Chain A
Amino acid sequence: MVNERLNSANPSFDLKYRRKKNAEEMKHQVITFAMMIFFTLIAFAAVGFDFSKWFIKPVILLLAVVQVIFQLYYFMHMKHKGHNTIALFLFSGLAVGLLTVLTFLTIVWW
């Protein structure tokens, strides 16, 4: 197969540019990570401090969803181009899964 090299004619310039871009991206990743840890702390703290469960449950669920979006879009690079098909399949799977969860919460016992 043909090796689709994205590099341009000047390899050393290219390298510098790429390194810089990678480093920048890595910085974003670390920030993302910090936020994830922060969200986790809030979630655990909310439970630790024993607020009303009608408050806690939606909040920690929301935090979980945000965290997962971070994971998917930053750590797993779904924010990059060319992930349309992948996103389609992942979210279809998620839809099927959520429907299952909804069912099992409603019409398994009656």
Chain B
Amino acid sequence: MSTYAKKQGFGATLWDYLTTVDHKKIAILYLIAGGVFFVLGGLEAMFIRIQLAIPNNDFVSAGFYNEILTMHGTTMIFLAAMPLVFAMMNAVVPLQIGARDVAFPFLNSLGFWLFFFGGLFLNLSWFMGGAPDAGWTSYASLSLHSPGHGVDFYILGLQISGLGTLIAGINFLATIINMRTPGMTYMRMPLFTWSTFVVSALILFAFPPLTVGLVLLMFDRMFGSNFFDVAAGGNTIIWEHLFWIFGHPEVYILILPAFGIFSEILATFSRKRLFGYSSMVFATVLIGFLGFMVWAHHMFTVGLGPIANAIFAVATMAIAVPTGIKIFNWLLTMWGGSVKFTVPMLYAVAFIPSFTMGGVTGIMNAVAPADYIFHDTYFVVAHFHYVIVGGVVFGLLAGVTFYWPKMFGTMLNETLGKISFWTFLIGFHLTFFIQHFLGLMGMPRRIFTFLDNQGLNTGNMISTVGAFFMAFAVIVLVINIIITSVKNVKVGNDPWGDGRTLEWAISSPPPYYNFKQLPLVRGLDAYWVEKMDGKTEMTPAEPLGDIHMPNSSILPLTTSLGLFVAAFGALYNMDDDKTWTVPVIIIGLLITLGSMLIRSIKDDHGYHIHKEELTDDHDKGVKA
């Protein structure tokens, strides 16, 4: 396995990535796939904004608009934001806790491929008779009513990729609980690791309700059951609850990792330890906890009654407290620090007021009677883009720039980065600030057009112009990535110079076994502690010895591929005129079950890197 250092042909590299179980390569896979889906979702957003630029526009048709709208929301949440979050987690968390890999390398790869094929499946709907068109929430009465197969693509695609997400969540939990290096106690874990931990727990408890909801919807649409058929005793509110029991924790699944990334960046570029570390940890846990008790704030107008509305309103508002604690701790982290405005830091800094603006409109939404006004208007659209773009997307852009050298060993261009940052920031506020007012002035969301003379023209135009700024910023970012990759100037362990945590103690990118010897952690910000003691390396916690590594495998890919194939069969099975569907289902399931069978029958003990090999390659070696 010392082939690592050798130059490889394209085919070999491809095969390497298709079969990899290395968390660092899986991170890159997530990054690429998530990035592509982000651009796709962004393109859909541009279609939305172009259509809404002027009244009575006919850039896209009504039905097509609903497809774009649904796919924009679904793609952005499930196929762009989540995988990009996973990219960051995979790239960073094992390094931050000083582990050689995650707890289940094989499952890690399986999780990625499930997500990937689920996303691919969902997007193939564009070419196979139309995309889902019932909104990313797919409320039951409409999603049952929706003709064609769009909603079926939604159901099966999300089911497959959701499975991948669940696996990834369990994997990170086990990794963080079991794989920490000696000295890395819970209260010494970097905040990004902490938020990964909490987020994984949220995934573990939030995805099963979605799974159940999707199963019920699938049964209703494909097998004639009556969960949501009122005439046969069904109830559509069940779907709404199941969806939001998942849906609200989901938004914290997105934002908490961003919070974690910002905590790392703000401390790093202020050259100061995170202010109020323990209350930050506490706040993270509390947000995760409260996140499960507020879902019905999406359903204030459903008619649940004043008691339920009041309870959920108050519970929702409570989340302002731990979030506020975080905001002020970040500000105080910079207070008295030595603040350097690199590109990641710019995003982190801009995040604070932007997210606060989105957060406070969230609290306004939580005021139930006021939400009767806001609900399903552009006010809500403004709220959630402020928290999602101003929080999650800023967090991902910051994280990707910050960890780019750690993932690829080379630095993104700072000037281009700053151009991206400023245009994105301006475009973002231009697009979404005005939408608060559009909503209040009577513009519902999810409308494919609006009539002239309703006072909505100017606002919509401004919003569209802003979106073009964001598109420009993204294009500059892509150019930046291309230029950087072509130049490929290599950097050292700690390219930002102010690294505090373990990941900066090893080379960029790290060797495939991460740490030659597991490092000994002596405090919060382990690497910083050593630096302040005048050392340049971590003290090892174990003697140099053989390292046990997992084998690569193509089985995760084939397992997922089988489900992908079977899903096509299942989807068309409800059409009476198609006879090929049952064989396709069977073939697909055979591929999946066969792969699983091989996995369980073939013993996979992994292999060992021998001590001697480790001492050989000095330049690749770990400073551990």
Contacts and interface: CB of A to CB of B under 8 A. Distances in A.
A92 to B, nearest CB: 7
Given A107-B305, A108-B238, A100 B245 contact: yes
Contact of A108 (B204, B235, B292): B235
B88 interface: no
A108 B205 contact: no
A96 interface: yes
B238 A93 contact: no
Contacts of A13: none
Contacts of B124: none
B176 to A, nearest CB: 10
A104 B238 contact: yes
Interface residues of A, number: 16
A55 interface: no
B224 interface: no
B201 A110 contact: no
A108 B201 contact: no
Contact of A96 (B177, B205, B304): B205
Contact of B241 (A85, A89, A108): A108
B479 interface: no
Contacts of B177: 85
Contact of B237 (A85, A96, A100, A108): A108
A89 B170 CA distance: 11
Interface in B331-346: none
Contacts of B308: 106-107
A9 interface: no
Nearest to A85: B177
B303 A93 contact: no
Nearest to B237: A108
A110 B238 contact: no
Interface in A90-110: 92-93, 95-96, 99-100, 103-104, 106-110
B130 interface: no
Contacts of A100: 209, 241, 245
A1 interface: yes
B241 A92 contact: no
Nearest to A96: B205
B237 to A, nearest CB: 5
B245 A107 contact: no
A92 B173 CA distance: 14
Interface of A: 1, 85, 89, 92-93, 95-96, 99-100, 103-104, 106-110
13 contacts: A89-B173, A89-B204, A92-B205, A96-B245, A100-B209, A103-B245, A104-B238, A104-B241, A106-B308, A107-B305, A108-B235, A108-B237, A110-B305
Given A108-B241, A110-B303, 14 more contacts: A85-B177, A89-B201, A96-B292, A99-B292, A100-B241, A100-B245, A103-B245, A103-B296, A106-B308, A107-B296, A107-B305, A108-B237, A109-B235, A109-B237
